[in-house]
Amino acid sequence: MSIKIIFYNFFNIGDTYFAQPFVKNIIDNNGDKFEYYILSKFNFYIYTSILPDIKIIQFDILNDLNINLSYNDLNAYDYFFIKEQNILFINTWIGNYIYIHCHRKDHFVTYYRENIIECNLVSYIKSYQIMLNIILEKENIKINYNNDPLISIPVFPPNLDIEDFLNFKKNNSNKKIVFINNYYPCSGQKISIHNVEDRICLIDYFIKKNYIVLLSEYENDLQVYKIENNITNLYFTNVLFKIDINYSCYNIYFCAKVAHNCDVALYFDTGRNFTYINQEFIDDYNNNINRNTKIHLIIDNYFLEKLPNPVYFPDGYAKFIMANGGNEIVEKLETSHYF
């Protein structure tokens, strides 16, 4: 009986998104040697779109398997093997290798401390390799793995259809389009836009420059602002193109591809924004197919020092601007000459 590998991650979009290369790597290099499953709260589309044979399982799996183990317990492990049932749980949350859990401190220091750097994707691929080496050593389970840093970034869902947007763009060819990722953070991180006033400040700036403004998320306050000020060139992407919002998170990747095909796209320090870091979009840039203006607005150097690794992030692919609040963002955009 083949071993069932359950890749689990109980955290948010950025965490599950940046784990995709690891999961794909294992499936690509091991084929039908194992059975593969995904256990997470959401964001299934980034896996099922490229790995059609992977199975999505529900959160009651621990009860179904009659395992005396809680989800909090699992979060404290890099992996957990149930030999009697031939089930190998693999934790794809990279934070597990970074944060020192009180009862796993020695394990962390022994194996991962010298290798893992949060939000550095090249360090992720190295740290996952360490975990697989531990599994081989302690459980005698050999999992083939390619540790080439060039494959450390996610593969974007292929054949994602944005034809409706492209027709919209063609029908409005007399105007430029800016995409603003107005997502609020889900993990408590600080971002450059803090509230609806900051969002309105950005929207006003581009409307006055005669841009069409697309937003990634519907916000009631912004809808009220649109109506009260009779703004015709402001749209919520999911509403305009009738995109469902559900646990698969298809809408996030639809918005990401739309943003990639706008004249200008603004990104912030949240996991849903980081979807612009993927092989397809970077290949478009490298091959001069699509070199739209991507501006990543940061509040400090934390992500700037880690995300744009030159191994996979070409020079000029995205511009970084440090700013705090709508007014400062507008001031720096105005003097940036990026668009």
**Element of type H or E holding 87:** strand 87-91
Q: What is the pLDDT of residue 103?
A: 59
Q: Please tell me the total count of domains within the chain.
A: 2
Same domain, 135 and 169: no
Same domain, 93 and 147: yes
- Domain extent at residue 183: 163-336
All residue ranges of the chain with pLDDT < 50 are none
Residue at which a domain ends, from 120, 151, 182? 151
pLDDT tens per residue, range 34-52: 999 999 999 999 999 999 8
Question: Closest by alpha carbon to 298, among 279, 277, 334, 274?
Answer: 274
Q: Measure the CA dihedral 197/168/162/293, to 10°.
A: -60
Q: What is the pLDDT of residue 186?
A: 79
Q: From residue 107, give the alpha-carbon distance in Å to each of 110, 124, 164.
A: 5, 17, 51
Q: What is the pLDDT of residue 269?
A: 94
Same domain, 77 and 109: yes
Mean pLDDT, the chain, as a whole number? 93
Q: What percentage of the chain reaches a pLDDT higher than 90?
A: 78
* pTM for this model (two decimals): 0.95
Same domain, 330 and 271: yes
Is 158 within a domain?
no
Q: What is the pLDDT of residue 309?
A: 94
Is 157 within a domain?
no
What is the C-alpha separation between 248 and 222, in angstroms, rounded?
A: 26
Same domain, 127 and 192: no
Is 291 within a domain?
yes
Q: Any idea what the CATH number is for the domain that residue 263 is in?
A: 3.40.50
Same domain, 202 and 70: no
What is the C-alpha separation between 128 and 122, in angstroms, rounded?
A: 10
Q: What is the pLDDT of residue 233?
A: 98
Is 225 within a domain?
yes
Q: What is the pLDDT of residue 137?
A: 96
What is the C-alpha separation between 102 and 255, in angstroms, rounded?
A: 39
Same domain, 175 and 264: yes
**Element of type H or E holding 320:** strand 319-322
Is 156 within a domain?
no
